[in-house]
Amino acid sequence: METVCAIELKNITKRFGSVVANDGINLSLNRGEILSLLGENGSGKTTLMNMLSGIYYPDEGEICVGGEKVTISSPKDAFRYGIGMIHQHYKLVDVFTAAENIVLGLDDEEKLDMNQTNAKVRAICEKYGFDIDPTKKIYDMSVSQKQTVEIIKVLYRGADILILDEPTAVLTPQETDKLFAVLRNMRADGKAIVIITHKLHEVMALSDKVAVLRKGKYIGTVNTAETNPQALTDMMVGHTVTLNIDRPTYEKPVPRLSLSGVSCFDAEGVKRLDDVSFTAMGGEILGIAGVAGSGQRELLECIAGLHPVSSGSIMYTPDEAAPSDLVGKSPMQIRKSGVAMAFVPEDRLGMGLVGSMGMTGNMMLRSWRKGKSIFVNRKDPNKLANQIWHDLEVVTPSTEFPVRRMSGGNVQKVLVGREIASAPSVLMTAYAVRGLDINTSYTIYNLLTEQKMQGVAVVYVGEDLDVLLELCDRILVLCGGKVSGIVDARTTTKEEVGLLMTRVGGKEAE
């Protein structure tokens, strides 16, 4: 097939305020090619692609489609140029059939003829090898079928440049294979495809070219045939950066939390944790590394009693007491026995904080049930709120100011501060420094280290490998719900962890 340029990005820069999300990025893609856009979380992949699909508008640089310079300022514009993006969160109407969803929003004046639409959808399915019944309702579909509907939706509108944002994150290996087969068919049909991913083996299996981003910067593009996972990892994680996080050693760590063979399923019946076993020690920080959605959230929720465990045991050994199994206990019992969790979700609120209340009200979330009185004790939470306000330098006009209106970093300080204040013997944090500036991040690192030195078992789920390497004592790597390795943070290298994250060279745990 002759090479026809499908898209070319020249020197694209996108800033959000002072943060440069994309910095002078160049990219080009021909028809009949699959390009992988590779990078860690927060490296700017999705931002870049959102500029192609009309959600953002670039500050600098130009976009060419089919060799001509174009301006894409809305999703409609993108469609006009034949660009279709499949986002991570599907937008489908549950009670509609696949075909009804597919024609939604098309502003044809012609009469709606579902038979004809169904036939057209079937034709697309046949052409590329999708397996979808256009008359099936969305609520009867599996996640992968829903994804298929989203893809067909884009094809139906005549897109010939497809962008898929982490399409395999929600798929089983079998479904992934199917998707790849379809994508290859589309490639053969002359479509240009970009897939955003951080899974190396998928990159190697599917794509023709790989473009790598790191922290918003364009690192380079290589032909898949001429590279290997090791080289790609190096490009993706870069060189180790020294952060100088203080890491004292605790004298005699004791086992606190022992998981053996823990598995769990999500609401859709997909296995989220698969036979996870490890021991968290009092007096150490255990880092949890892994690409997004590898089971970090489920792991923490299983321990905290918020997610049902399908098999395995979680033995918890408090000071001077016999070990007991946490599985089957209520979140309240678990919390009372000294296991604290500070999970910072993507939207920051929604789990663990009450947006409409002030700091005091949120401190009460921990203590509201204390005492026999029918009245809530506001005095102690208020004292605690003032203490955290002062100690962690939370920026807020008062302890009654709704946390929803605080800026992100301050919300996190409130959450993490409260969990630490409950003097737990196991402290779990996830994404505790998400979105924080450097100084605040260090405040949190110091707090965690302080806890460790008091003999608390700290579990730290993080995104930034550099931090994990310097903050933690040991690092557990999750990959697809499995433990792909536990390494000593003092001796390991970023490359080793990076490879474990993508399971290249992964070995069985312990």
Partner 1 sequence: MNKKHEPLIRLAKREMMPKGQVWAIRIGSILLALLLGGFILMAIGVNPIEAYGTIISGSLGKKTALRQTAKIAVPLLGCALAIAPCFKMRFWNIGAEGQITAGAIAASYFALYWADKLPALPLLVIMGAAGAIAGGIWALIPAFFKAKWNTNETLFTLMMNYIVIGIVRWLEGGPWEGRKGSQVIPQFAENACLPRVLGVHCGWIIVLILVVLMHIYMRHTKHGYEIAVIGDSINTARYAGMNVGRIMMRTMFISGAISGLVGFIVASGANGTLYHGVADGVGFTSITVAWLAQLNAFAMVAISGLLAVLTKGAETLQTRLAVPASISEIITGILLFCMLGCEFFINFRLILRAKKQQKEAAAEGKEANENA
Partner 2 sequence: MPEFVNLTIALIVAAITYGTPFLFGTLGEILTEKSGNLNLGVEGIMFMGGAVGLGGVFYYEKLTGNANGIVAVIVGILCAFIAGCIASLIFSFITITLRANQNVTGLALSIFGTGVGQFIGEYMRVSEGGYIAISNSLKGFFQNSPFPAFLQEIPVVGPILFSSSVFFYMGVVLAIAMHLFLKRSRKGLYLRSVGESPATADAAGINVTRYRYLATVIGGGISAIGGMVYIMTIAGCVWNHEGLSGVGWLAVALVIFCLWRPLSSIWGSILFGALMILYLRLNIPFIPMQIYKILPYVVTVIVLIVSSMRNQKENQPPEGLGLNYFREER
The residues binding partner 1 (CB under 8 A) are 15-19, 21, 42, 57, 71, 73-74, 306, 330-332, 335, 349-357, 361, 364-366, 368-369, 374-376, 378, 405, 407-408, 435
Contact region with partner 2 (CB under 8 A), list: 102-110, 160-168, 279-287, 298-306: 102-110
Which residue, among 456, 466, 392, 462, has the nearest Cα to 427 in the 3D structure?
A: 456
Site for partner 2 in 60-89 (CB under 8 A): 75-76
**91 touches, from partner 1, partner 2, none (C-beta below 5 to 8 Å by class):** partner 2
- Give the helix ranges, DSSP H, for 198-261: 200-206, 229-237
**369 touches, from partner 1, partner 2, none (C-beta below 5 to 8 Å by class):** partner 1
Under the binding rule (CB under 8 A), the answer on residue 49 touching partner 2 is no
What CA–CA distances, in Å, run from 323 to 255, 262, 306, 316? Answer: 10, 17, 20, 5
Work out how close the CB of 134 gets to partner 2 at its nearest, in angstroms, rounded to a whole number.
Answer: 14
The arrangement of strands across the sheet holding 284-289 comes to 339-343, 426-430, 457-461, 284-289, 474-479, 482-488
Under the binding rule (CB under 8 A), the answer on residue 52 touching partner 2 is no
All residues at 6 or more sequence positions from 242 whose CB lies less than 8 Å from its CB, including other chains: 470
**378 touches, from partner 2, partner 1, none (C-beta below 5 to 8 Å by class):** partner 1
Q: Which 8-state DSSP code applies to residue 321? A: S
**139 touches, from partner 1, partner 2, none (C-beta below 5 to 8 Å by class):** partner 2
Work out how close the CB of 346 gets to partner 2 at its nearest, in angstroms, rounded to a whole number.
Answer: 12
CB atoms within 10 A of CB 404: 14
Which residue, among 463, 447, 18, 35, has the nearest Cα to 246 in the 3D structure?
A: 447
Please state, in angstroms and rounded to a whole number, the distance separating the CA atoms of residues 27 and 10: 7
Please state, in angstroms and rounded to a whole number, the distance separating the CA atoms of residues 95 and 109: 24
Under the binding rule (CB under 8 A), the answer on residue 4 touching partner 2 is no
Please state, in angstroms and rounded to a whole number, the distance separating the CA atoms of residues 192 and 223: 15
Count of residues binding partner 2 (CB under 8 A)? 19
Please state, in angstroms and rounded to a whole number, the distance separating the CA atoms of residues 261 and 264: 10
Please state, in angstroms and rounded to a whole number, the distance separating the CA atoms of residues 256 and 183: 47
148 neighbors 181 (Cβ within 8 angstroms):
no
The token pair at 35 is 């390009």
**467 touches, from partner 2, partner 1, none (C-beta below 5 to 8 Å by class):** none
**104 touches, from partner 1, partner 2, none (C-beta below 5 to 8 Å by class):** partner 2
Under the binding rule (CB under 8 A), the answer on residue 104 touching partner 2 is yes
Give, for 364, the enclosing helix (H) or strand (E): helix 359-367
Q: Degrees (nearest 5) of the Cα angle 478, 322, 264?
A: 30
Which of 107, 126, 226, 346 contacts partner 2 by CB under 8 A? 107
**10 touches, from partner 1, partner 2, none (C-beta below 5 to 8 Å by class):** none
455 neighbors 250 (Cβ within 8 angstroms):
yes
Please state, in angstroms and rounded to a whole number, the distance separating the CA atoms of residues 61 and 272: 41
Which of 3, 19, 111, 251 contacts partner 2 by CB under 8 A? 111
Under the binding rule (CB under 8 A), the answer on residue 268 touching partner 2 is no
**16 touches, from partner 2, partner 1, none (C-beta below 5 to 8 Å by class):** partner 1
Under the binding rule (CB under 8 A), the answer on residue 405 touching partner 2 is no
**306 touches, from partner 2, partner 1, none (C-beta below 5 to 8 Å by class):** partner 1
Packed helices 173-188 and 143-156: angle between N→C axes, nearest 10 degrees: 10
Under the binding rule (CB under 8 A), the answer on residue 105 touching partner 2 is yes
Work out how close the CB of 249 gets to partner 1 at its nearest, in angstroms, rounded to a whole number.
Answer: 33
Residue (331 or 408) nearer to partner 2, CB: 408
Residue (103 or 436) nearer to partner 2, CB: 103
Amino acid sitting at position 201: H
Binding site for partner 2 (CB under 8 A): 75-76, 91-96, 100, 103-105, 107-108, 111-112, 114, 137, 139
